[in-house]
Amino acid sequence: MTEPDAADLQNVKDLILHILRDATDRGEVSDDKPMQQAALQRRVAEACQERSRTRSSSGLRVPTKHEFIECVNALTSAGEVRVHWADGVPGKVWLSVADEQQRQRLHGLSTLEQAVYEQVRTARNLGVWVRHVRARLNLSLTEANRALHELQKRKLIKQVQSFKHKTRKVYMLTELEPSREVTGGSFYDSDGGFDLEFVRRLRELLVKHLREQPWCTAAELTQHLNRSPVLNERLEVADTRTVLDTMCWDSLLCRCDGLTEHVRNERRAHSPEGADGPYYACLRSATADEIELSDPPHAAAHRKAVRASALAHTPCAKCPVREHCSPRNPHIHPLACRYLETWAQNMGDAPHAEPTPATTASHRH
């Protein structure tokens, strides 16, 4: 068999591009629906045979598998063709034609480097772990690290720190920002550590604002915090709600799920109508030490202790006649309990909630 010359190989490369672009125009091929390499090779062979029948004896010769792969690798290195590998299936390769932007990014990359790049790209802002890249492409650690290093050197991808798995190497495209699942959100620093100082500042700002404007919603408080010049991080409502919950567990705030008459009257002076709850207000004056957040690993035990402690300090817990206390009992009933009334007054500057058996209750003996 004669060795193919440069003109033969160039004709094969042109034919490959023509088939892929034609299939793309017809909607048969896209980034999400690439063409399998074996199917493309069959189409190239059929096109070569068709040209041989319709032209003179100098028609295009059917390339061997080695020649075909050589042409694909050349187009891949030139950035003309994108490579998609099947997850964990050695030898299963799919191809698609690259647009102008992709050609500039992928120019000069080997087939393996392109395949690794595709794994990183499809992971989007969640990133991909190097072990997953190896498993999906059936690569050795050396091969995977070499390809990732080359992509990093070209500034196509970057390594990010996962707050859940600090020893894992996670990669994503350079232009993307990591998702909250990777960074842990606003409460974690760039090294993946819990930012206690940041949470302490949040709690101070929330206490200060709720003393001035009680019964705000989490969304309203988030807007207030994001306007604050003290904070550099932009918060989501879920972030603020998490901090508010810890402050309720620490007995710094109280929460009202419904828009009662008292809450509506208190909000009328500073907040628009129609905001959905729950609503938050300061329960009492807080010292600097109380605003500090407990160490996260002990947060569950801390919350349990706080709830138990708060219940134990109510007069109902030590009342000798609590078994007889009932709204139906004319002598011992919650709405007339002077002990609970005194206890509520001693709570400090707590806002007065509307009378309910749960908040103003016990009995007068």
**Continuous segment of H or E residues that includes residue 85:** strand 81-85
When divided into structural domains, the chain yields a total of 4
Q: Of 183, 218, 246, which marks where a domain is finished?
A: 183
Does one domain contain both 123 and 163?
Answer: yes
Task: Give me the sign of the Cα torsion angle 294, 297, 299, 301.
Answer: negative
Does one domain contain both 159 and 246?
Answer: no
pLDDT at residue 318 in the model: 64
216 Cβ contact partners less than 8 Å away, ≥ 6 residues apart:
209, 210, 224, 267, 271, 279, 280, 281
Does one domain contain both 128 and 163?
Answer: yes
Tokens at 358, concatenated: 């749960």
Does one domain contain both 219 and 165?
Answer: no
Does one domain contain both 294 and 210?
Answer: yes
pLDDT at residue 149 in the model: 93
- Count of alpha carbons within 13 angstroms of residue 176, beta-carbon side: 23
**Continuous segment of H or E residues that includes residue 282:** strand 279-282
Residue with tokens 């690794």: 116
CB-based contact 61:10 (threshold 8 Å): no
Q: Is residue 60 part of a domain?
A: yes
Does one domain contain both 203 and 257?
Answer: yes
Distance CA 40, CA 42 (A): 5
Q: Is residue 321 part of a domain?
A: yes
Strand partners of residue 95 = 35, 83
Q: Is residue 104 part of a domain?
A: no
Does one domain contain both 227 and 272?
Answer: yes
| Single pTM value for the model | 0.48
Does one domain contain both 89 and 139?
Answer: no
Q: Is residue 55 part of a domain?
A: yes
Q: Is residue 63 part of a domain?
A: yes
Does one domain contain both 288 and 208?
Answer: yes
Sheet containing 93-97, strands listed edge to edge, beginning at the edge strand earlier in sequence: 35-36, 93-97, 81-85
State the residue range of the domain holding 284.
196-300
Q: Of 253, 275, 300, which marks where a domain is finished?
A: 300
Q: Of 98, 128, 147, which marks where a domain is finished?
A: 98
pLDDT at residue 309 in the model: 46
Does one domain contain both 203 and 292?
Answer: yes
Pairing of strands 93-97, 81-85: antiparallel
pLDDT at residue 331 in the model: 74
Say if residue 278 is preceded by a cis peptide, omega within 30 of 0. yes
Tell me the pLDDT of the chain (365 aa) as tens digits. 455 567 778 888 889 999 999 988 888 888 778 888 889 999 999 888 887 776 554 557 788 888 888 888 888 888 888 887 765 555 577 888 888 888 888 888 888 888 899 888 888 888 888 888 888 888 899 999 999 999 999 889 998 877 667 677 888 888 887 776 666 666 766 666 677 788 888 899 999 999 888 888 999 999 988 888 877 778 888 888 888 988 888 888 888 887 777 788 888 777 766 677 788 988 755 444 444 444 444 444 444 444 444 455 567 766 777 777 877 777 777 777 777 776 666 554 444 443 333 333 334 44
Does one domain contain both 87 and 151?
Answer: no
Q: Please list, residue by residue across 43-52, b when 16 or more beta carbons sit within 10 angstroms of its beta carbon and e when fewer do.
A: bbeebbeebe
Distance CA 54, CA 77 (A): 33
Other beta carbons less than 10 A from residue 32's beta carbon: 8
Q: Is residue 286 part of a domain?
A: yes
Q: Is residue 211 part of a domain?
A: yes
pLDDT at residue 150 in the model: 93
**Continuous segment of H or E residues that includes residue 241:** helix 237-249
Does one domain contain both 328 and 292?
Answer: no
Q: Is residue 307 part of a domain?
A: no
CATH number of the domain enclosing 284: 1.10.10.10
Give the distance from CA 224 to its chain's centroid. Answer: 23
Distance CA 122, CA 77 (A): 20
Distance CA 313, CA 302 (A): 17
